[in-house]
A and B are shown apart, each in its own frame.
Chain A
């Protein structure tokens, strides 16, 4: 039985058992390059029934200027592979403009994907001796599309994904003068630049550079037979490239981005085995293959700069590793770049589990890169949520192997993203500081924790929406208010959105919590409250509850109602409202307190510098 058959049988078995494919199956699906097999997988997965809140349900509409055809199955398979539970809503053929103009996209999608082809932008007839006229028409059609998309965004809360369009050979080659051909090419590149520019106009628009992606992979873009016969402008191979990009965008918008990169050292971050060659014998920098390892380090450093937390997972003696990291002249990653350094002879799965505990992150936040198939296999078996990247084979491919799946993609970098590596390094240091105190309360007092609470500002809505998308554990109702809704609530007198920032003796944690509150008829209702797992166990949630009670009291509210809706990830928050002094009410899952008489629940070790 070949790998494909085994994978497809595994997907059929998951469908028959009415359960989502396992992380292992999903990762194998993500690694498939044969579009025909991915299409088959998508067809099988179309029969998968909804399975509750995990994996993350997502509704994706596809509107197309051409036939959607195989894109449906390819998109479904790639969305499942990235860890979502997709429902696809397919626009009818020939209704692209109409759907956007009416702003009525059925099925309340979370994301709308637009599948574009050249015929949308080109006139039926055009003159090869008037390339400027052609360019003007293309620009006018782009303006039409832009107007439709921006108007539609005002009527739907959905995010949009568009893509650039590869220049059609017929357009380029039916112009015989090189000068005019350059004019036509420039007009087409301007169209693609304008499409990419849409992403800067609204944070809910993402534009995938399909033309650029196709230039880097060995697949035919078009099959003229399918185009002429069925208005299918792209091959299955090209559509798979697009589907993967769209799935990456959806995963990033759904908060499924990975946060941690755990790296092996020998034959991964450097060539050779340190214990055998010594520091001076390592392959790093200079000519091939040392330049491959240095290129990987450069890319890893770039990821760290954008908020990816680095963990070392190496079977080595710690002393020589520390010396090599600190002193090797070609080393780009230094000891302080790693939040956790698990350099010892324990099993790597155990080390990664420990690193996850130290950082207070789930295994599903980790990507693990190692050259040893044994180590990768062991980690995959022990921690199935960890995404595994192979670093064996020719080191020239190391960078491509790490980056090709877009594990760390986010819609937009926030201030917290930029600070995250330092924050988590502080956290790891804090864990070390916690030994030597008589009680955990002594320790917490010594941390000198401050919680700064205030209504969210326009600069914070992005981070707050990101918290809503990414927080699974301390997420009291599971309702994920996106940036658009959060912004709207923050300026609405009937609502209050608050952000909560924490700092302590080790530094600023940034915004770690948020609350969305409705306030009508002197009754305040907490629609959701989320708290980053980074600050669990420090009583921050009670400081937040205390602040909300105080604001409700000041506003003269007669009741403050909290809610807890259990999901399969938020059991850590069960009982929170009662511990904060709220009483269960008749309505299922709700808890009430009278602000005027509520006692404080602010932990004694926390201060609010604004009320001090």
Chain B
């Protein structure tokens, strides 16, 4: 399994638990707004992704991610950038 797969799995599972939707449903209908993606749900997902994956997400970019796929890409990019910073450090 690649790092990207790992990240996708964490994002999907987190969304699934917070939004109370199966990962299958989220994959089939990836637009977050169709799943009760309100401000509190989105912030709970943000908090859990940041603490679970030790990343910090830019809130503007986070709110611009309207689909499951876009969110996975955003988190994966942050994780990569975080890892690169760790290697430099």
Contact = CB atoms under 8 A, between A and B. Distances in A.
A34 interface: yes
Interface stretch (B23-31, B41-49, B68-76, B80-88): B41-49
B59 interface: yes
B1 interface: no
A201 B40 CA distance: 37
B47 A36 contact: yes
A232 interface: yes
B59 A236 contact: no
Given A35-B51, A70-B43, 8 more contacts: A35-B47, A36-B48, A36-B51, A39-B44, A39-B47, A43-B18, A225-B59, A230-B40
Interface string B45-72: 0011001100000010000000000000
Nearest to B40: A69
B43 A232 contact: yes
Interface of A: 34-36, 39-40, 43, 67, 69-70, 225-226, 229-230, 232, 236
A70 B47 contact: yes
Range, interface on chain B: 10 to 19
A34 B51 contact: yes
Nearest to B18: A43
B17 interface: yes
Contacts of A69: 40, 43
19 contacts: A34-B51, A36-B47, A36-B48, A36-B51, A39-B44, A39-B47, A40-B17, A40-B48, A43-B17, A67-B40, A69-B40, A69-B43, A70-B44, A70-B47, A226-B43, A229-B39, A229-B59, A232-B43, A236-B51
Contacts of B40: 67, 69, 230
A72 to B, nearest CB: 9
A40 B43 CA distance: 13
Top 6 A-B pairs, shortest CB-CB distance: A225-B59, A36-B51, A36-B48, A230-B39, A236-B47, A69-B40
Interface of B: 17-18, 39-40, 43-44, 47-48, 51-52, 59
Contacts of A229: 39, 43, 59
Nearest to B57: A225
B44 A230 contact: no
Contacts of A35: 47, 51
A119 to B, nearest CB: 18
A38 to B, nearest CB: 11
A36 B43 contact: no
Contacts of B47: 35-36, 39, 70, 236
Contacts of A39: 44, 47-48
Nearest to B59: A225
Nearest to A72: B40
B51 A230 contact: no
A69 B18 CA distance: 13
A40 B51 CA distance: 13
Nearest to A225: B59
Contacts of A67: 40
Q: Which of B18, B43, B59 has the most chain A CB within a 10 Å cutoff?
A: B43
Contacts of A40: 17, 48
A239 to B, nearest CB: 11
Nearest to B39: A230
A40 B18 CA distance: 8
B65 to A, nearest CB: 15
B44 to A, nearest CB: 7
A69 B44 CA distance: 9
Q: Which of B40, B44, B47, B51 has the most chain A CB within a 10 Å cutoff?
A: B47
A70 B18 CA distance: 12
Contacts of B39: 229-230
Nearest to B56: A225
B48 to A, nearest CB: 5
Nearest to A69: B40
Nearest to A67: B40
A36 B59 contact: no
Contacts of B44: 39, 70
